[in-house]
């Protein structure tokens, strides 16, 4: 029963109907909980506050039951650990922490009211379409792969922000002491300018300040383009690798083998000749229980086994039938 409960509450098993129904049930409960949380912020909904409170209590109770079941089945999630260490590992994991912060607001309302928004995080666990083209996984993979370049670009932005704030303080402090009181008071202006937001609540009025603002604005365009270009290039590389991997998997998804005996036409031929004459893609050569990488100059011997693409095998079979007919 424990194994069956573990299979049901685990997300992503599309072939198991109860597991799929449980996923949809949790989605409905999450959305219902979030809608209830939003409705409780409207004064016009005051007459139905008791009903909303009941709905919130029931949905959080479901979250508590799911949380308890996940703790109970944690030893199946981490089979290489002891039951106690597996449960501790789950409690310290991202999913365990999010689940805990989801149910805490009901018991500690005022102190943890901000954690209610973490209920939205739970729904992202349901978007595991597949391992190859999961959008969330692609985004996190690109950010992790390009983390050093992104951190370097963010460091450049921070340096420019501090430098522009200091320069603007020197140019505008005497004219606008209320807006540029110290070197750090221009951080808000430099952030809005470098990141091309431009709120306009703080702006230079002196000629020197305006000239520096023009230069800083141009630098801001380039500073924002650096991390954007890095992330865009990362997405292109990631999708190119995925397409290349999918193409390679498709080539190897259907393979066949040819056993070369004393009378086979491949006996004594080089692998390069077989590929040139028959248009056959040879993937591996099995000889005397060993796996040999196919080299063009390698000669085929009796009892060798050739691992080739099945579509090439079909072409060879058609040629053999035509030869027999002739």
- Give the 3-state DSSP-derived string for the chain, with helices as H, strands as E and coil as C: CHHHHHHHHCCCCCCCHHHHHHHHHHHHHHHHHHHHHHHCCCHHHHHHHHHHHHHHHHHHHHHHHHHHHHHHCHHHHCCCCCHHHHHHHHHHCHHHHHHHHHHHHHHCCCCCHHHHHHHHHHHHHHCCCCCCCCHHHHHHHHHHHCHHHHHHHHHHHHHHHHHHHHHHHHHHCCCCCCCCCCCCCCHHHHHHHHCCCCCCCCCCCCHHHHHHHHHHHHHHHHHHHHHHHHHHHHHHHHHHHHHHHHHHHHHHCCEEEEECCCCCCCCCCEHHHHHHHHCCCEEEEEECCEEECCCCCCECCCCCEEEEEHHHHHHHHHHHHHHHHC
CATH class of the region 2-128: mainly alpha
Residue 11's pLDDT is what?
Answer: 60
- Topology given in CATH for the domain delimited by 254-325: Alpha-Beta Plaits (3.30.70)
Considering the chain, what percentage of its residues have pLDDT values greater than 70? 77
> Is the pLDDT assigned to residue 129 strictly greater than 60?
no
Residue 54's pLDDT is what?
Answer: 92
Strand order through the sheet with 305-309: 255-259, 305-309, 282-287, 290-292
- When mean pLDDT is compared across 46-55, 128-137, 206-215, 228-237, the lowest value belongs to 128-137
Contact 140, 148 (CB under 8 A): no
Q: What is the pLDDT of residues 169-216, one digit of tens each?
A: 888 888 888 888 887 777 888 888 877 776 667 788 888 888 988 888
Q: What is the residue extent of each domain of the chain?
A: 2-128, 147-249, 254-325
Length reported for the chain? 326
Q: What is the pLDDT of residues 249-264, one digit of tens each?
A: 444 456 677 888 877 7
- When mean pLDDT is compared across 91-100, 109-118, 208-217, 257-266, the lowest value belongs to 109-118
> Is the pLDDT assigned to residue 109 strictly greater than 60?
no
Average pLDDT over residues 214-230: 84
CA distance 139 to 147: 12
CA distance 45 to 249: 56
* The CATH number of domain 147-249, selected from 1.10.10.10, 2.60.40.10, 1.10.287.70, 3.40.50.10810: 1.10.287.70
> Is the pLDDT assigned to residue 278 strictly greater than 80?
no
> Is the pLDDT assigned to residue 111 strictly greater than 70?
no
pLDDT interval class at 322 (50, 70, 90): low
Residue 250's pLDDT is what?
Answer: 47
CA distance 163 to 49: 52
Residue 51's pLDDT is what?
Answer: 92
Residues forming beta bridges with residue 15, ordered by sequence position: none
Q: What is the pLDDT of residues 226-250, one digit of tens each?
A: 888 888 888 888 777 666 555 444 4
Residue 324's pLDDT is what?
Answer: 52
- Return mean pLDDT, the chain: 77
pLDDT interval class at 321 (50, 70, 90): low
């Amino acid at each position: 029963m424990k194994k069956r409960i573990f299979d049901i509450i685990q997300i992503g098993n599309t072939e198991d109907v109860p597991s799929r129904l449980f996923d949809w049930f949790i989605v409905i409960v999450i959305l219902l909980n979030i809608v209830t949380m939003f409705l409780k912020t409207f004064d016009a909904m005051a007459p139905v506050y008791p009903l909303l409170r009941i709905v919130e209590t029931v949905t959080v109770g479901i979250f508590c039951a799911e949380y308890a079941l996940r703790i109970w089945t944690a030893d199946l999630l981490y089979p290489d650990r002891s039951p106690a260490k597996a449960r501790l590992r789950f409690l310290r994991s991202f999913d365990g922490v999010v689940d805990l912060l989801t149910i805490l607001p009901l018991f500690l309302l005022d102190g943890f009211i901000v954690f209610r928004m973490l209920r939205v995080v739970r729904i992202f666990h349901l978007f595991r379409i597949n391992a190859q083209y999961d959008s969330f996984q692609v985004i996190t993979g690109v950010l992790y792969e390009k983390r050093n370049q992104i951190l370097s670009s963010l460091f450049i932005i921070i340096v420019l922000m501090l430098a522009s704030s200091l320069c603007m303080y020197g140019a505008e402090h005497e004219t606008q002491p209320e807006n540029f009181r110290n070197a750090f008071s221009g951080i808000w202006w430099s952030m809005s300018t470098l990141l091309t937001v431009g709120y306009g609540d703080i702006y230079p009025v002196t000629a020197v300040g305006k000239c520096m603002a023009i230069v800083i604005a141009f630098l801001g365009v380039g500073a924002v383009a650096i991390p954007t270009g890095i992330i865009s290039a990362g997405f292109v590389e990631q999708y190119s690798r995925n397409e290349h991997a999918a193409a390679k998997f498709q080539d190897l998804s259907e393979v066949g083998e040819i056993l070369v005996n004393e009378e086979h036409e491949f006996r004594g031929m080089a692998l390069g000749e077989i590929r040139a004459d028959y248009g056959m893609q040879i993937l591996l050569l099995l000889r005397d229980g060993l796996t040999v990488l196919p080299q063009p100059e390698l000669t085929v011997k009796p009892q060798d086994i050739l691992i080739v693409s099945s579509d090439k095998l079909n072409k060879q079979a058609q040629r053999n039938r035509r030869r027999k007919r002739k």
